Structure 1
Amino acid sequence: MEKYLDIFKNSYQGYFNYLLDEITRFHWENYFYGLIIVSLIVWGLELAFPWRRNQKIFRKDFWLDTFYMFFNFFLLNLIVLIFLSNASEQIFNDLLGTVHIYLKDFQLVNLNSLPFGLGLLIFFLVSDFVQWNTHRLLHRVPFLWNFHKLHHSVKEMGFAAHLRYHWMEPVVYKSILYIPLAIIGGFEVEQVAIVHFFALTVGHLNHANLGWDYGFLKYIFNNPKMHIWHHAKDLPAHTKYGVNYGLTLSIWDYLFGTNHVPYSGRDIELGFDGDEQFPKGFFNQEVYPLSKTKK
């Protein structure tokens, strides 16, 4: 128990110091100012090249989504995720240790031993593919779908909708991603930062009020014209669990047959069945899945 108390203390103290450093000191892998810069650039593109021209600059729930951006990107880590992540890692390693199994025994490759570009590509592909499968689970498992509904409660798309999600989602994503990343191991903070900012930018663009599909690159990268259909309220019966699950890459959807872009989705209705009863405020949205679990 003392070990976990130390993890709790060190997690909060370490992340608080990290967050303070992010805000007060600018450096190239700075996540705080990186989020602001990427958001301002993509918002500027929305204003310069709006796909839905009748959509207001400050669209429906713009400020709520902006709050979610900073809450989920920074405060959520401070409140729960850092300790939960560190504690889960320790518990997992302790359980394996009881049978004398260690993750390093399963490491297939050390990315540091590979040329930088190749190691970075493997890290990116593994991360994105695992997250694509996790995203499918969020739609197919009713318990997880109740959490994911928050992201699909967006009624007007804009860049900030990218980070409107329930705090439980990163717990699920990070838990499932932990073992695959441990198996490939060896990635450095610089690699994580590069992949993270690239995924952040593509994710912002996917949710932006932009009518882009990137031409032939649409078969590789997720894009606004494809992702709008992921948020469509009405879909064919055979796609009842959703379509276009890609986060950064669209290639997984084309490879596994979950792609669906029948026509321009510029003016389609967004949401899900019953979203009229979904809570509107932050607190009620956060506790919604718990209220559904009790029923």
Structure 2
Amino acid sequence: MNKYWDNILQSYSNYWGYFKREIFFQNDWDNYFWGLIIVSLVVWALEIAFPWRKNQKIFRKDFWMDTFYMFFNFFLLNLIVFIALTNTAALFFDDVLGLIGLELQDLQLFDVDTLPFGAGLLIFFLISDFVQWNTHRLLHRVPFLWNFHKVHHSTKEMAFAAQMRYHWVEPIVYKSLLYIPIAIIGGFDLSYVAIIHFTALTVGHLNHANIGWDYGPFKYIFNNPKMHIWHHSKELPEDHRYGVNFGLTLSLWDYIFGTSHVPHDGRDIELGFEGDENFPKDFVGQVTYPMSEKKE
């Protein structure tokens, strides 16, 4: 157990040093702190310049709470719990493999680092996005996980910061399920992670933004605001009672596997979920909801 405790302490120490380098511009182009701020300001400016819902205020309902969620989930959460848990889970997985006489490299099907940069990046992106698409479906289908995911669907007015309104348990689920597939391909360059991260961040902000774009013919490849608004619809189609349009960055998985649903312009549809009128409106109430006795 000592090595797990040491691993947690080392994770905190390493991340705190990394966090300070981010704040004071000591990291280069993969600066996630200022990258988040820049992407958020750009997408917010697009909302102001090209509003889809004209009557929605710039500082719309829950703007400040979603802004708090954005920084809490993106940085404070990582510092407090996520990095330590992720590293500890990886260590535990390695130990389990050791019990059966295997090492992580024994599971690797191929090494993307041996491929041309573009090919390796594409493979890494497709695998990670597909795993996350399936994880998103689980968040809707498994009642235990859905109680955590309700936090994200509690937004009643869509805007860019709504992307970051989610329960802190969600990234643990996403990263845990993504760990093995990514470990199997192995050898990926860390620049892949940064590129895909900023791509997903930008597309995710746009998907939730008050912008009526669908990207024309590219809507069948990339998720978009006019598609994602239906994912947040309070009224779901009878044949998809667990939800629709689960894509994070890519929409093509929904078109391939029959979970796409864009019946008409969804600009003014009601957002939320059944029973959301009883869902907590404050941050503490939302993050403690899955453990409360009052959940539906």
Specify if TM > 0.5.
Answer: yes
Q: Is the 8 A contact 1:65 1:160 kept in 2?
A: yes
Where 2:292 maps in the other structure, the secondary structure is helix
Report deviation, 1:216.
0.4
1: distance between equivalents of 2:202 and 2:237? 30
Q: How do 1:156-171 and structure 2 match up within 5 A?
A: 156-171=157-172
**Aligned 8 A contact 1:139 1:241 in 2:** yes
Asked if structure 2 preserves the Cα contact closer than 8 Å seen for 1:226 and 1:261, the reply is yes
Match for residue 9 of structure 2?
9
User: What corresponds to 1:266 in structure 2?
Assistant: 267
Name the amino acid aligned to 2:128: S
Match of 2:80 in 1: 79
Cα RMSD for the two superposed structures: 1.1
| Paired position in structure 2 for 1:277 | 278
1:233 counterpart = 2:238: no
Task: Write the letter of the residue equivalent to 1:4.
Answer: Y
Q: 1:146 to 1:24 in 2, by over 3 A?
A: same
TM-score normalised by the chain length of structure 1: 0.98
Q: Quick one: distance in 1 between partners of 2:189 and 2:181?
A: 16
Change (3 A) 1:292 1:260: farther
What is the Cα deviation at residue 166 of structure 1?
Answer: 0.2
Identity %: 70
The alignment partner of 2:166 has SS state of: coil
User: Tell me, which stretches of 5 or more residues in structure 1 are unaligned?
Assistant: none
* 1:1-150 paired onto structure 2 within 5 Å: 1-25=1-25, 27-150=28-151
Q: Which secondary structure state, in structure 2, belongs to the residue aligned with residue 94 of structure 1?
A: helix
Partner deviation per Cα, 1:93-114 (whole Å, 9 max, x = no partner) = 1011011022211111111100
1:173 aligned onto 2:148: no
Query: Does the 8 Å contact 1:146/1:292 carry over to 2?
Result: no
Counterpart amino acid of 1:258?
A: T
Helix, strand or coil for the counterpart of 1:264? coil
CA distance in 1, matches of 2:105, 2:208: 38
Q: Distance in 2 between matches of 1:172 and 1:4?
A: 20
The code of the aligned residue for 1:248 comes to T
Structure 1 segments of 4+ aligned residues over 6 angstroms from their partners: none
Q: 1:293 to 1:61 in 2, by over 3 A?
A: closer
Preserved contact between residue 159 and residue 207 of structure 1 (Cα < 8 Å): yes
Contact 1:143 1:293 in 2 (8 A): no
Contact 1:132 1:245 in 2 (8 A): yes
TM-score, with length taken from structure 2? 0.98
Q: 1:293 to 1:130 in 2, by over 3 A?
A: farther
Equivalents in 1 of 2:150, 2:239: separation in Å?
20
Kept after mapping to 1: 8 A contact 2:289/2:295: no
Structure 2 contact 160–209 (Cα < 8 Å) conserved = yes
Deviations 1:57-85 (A, max 9, x none): 00100010011111111100111011111
Please state if 1:153 is matched with 2:142: no
Unaligned runs of 5+ in 2: none
Where does residue 186 of structure 1 map in the other structure? 187
Query: How many angstroms does 1:292 deviate by?
Result: 4.5
For the residue of structure 1 that corresponds to 2:254, the secondary structure is helix
**Cα distance between partner residues in 1 of 2:123 and 2:285:** 40
What is the alpha-carbon distance in structure 2 between the residues aligned to residue 178 and residue 293 of structure 1?
Answer: 33
Deviation, 1:222, is: 0.1
- Rounded Cα–Cα distance in structure 2 between residues aligned with 1:106 and 1:291: 40
Quote the offset at 1:293 in angstroms: 9.0
Between the aligned partners of 1:190 and 1:58, the Cα distance in structure 2 is 35
- For the residues of structure 2 that align with 1:225 and 1:292, how far apart are their CA atoms? 36
Is the CA contact 1:109–1:184 (under 8 Å) kept in the aligned structure 2? Answer: yes
Aligned residues: 295
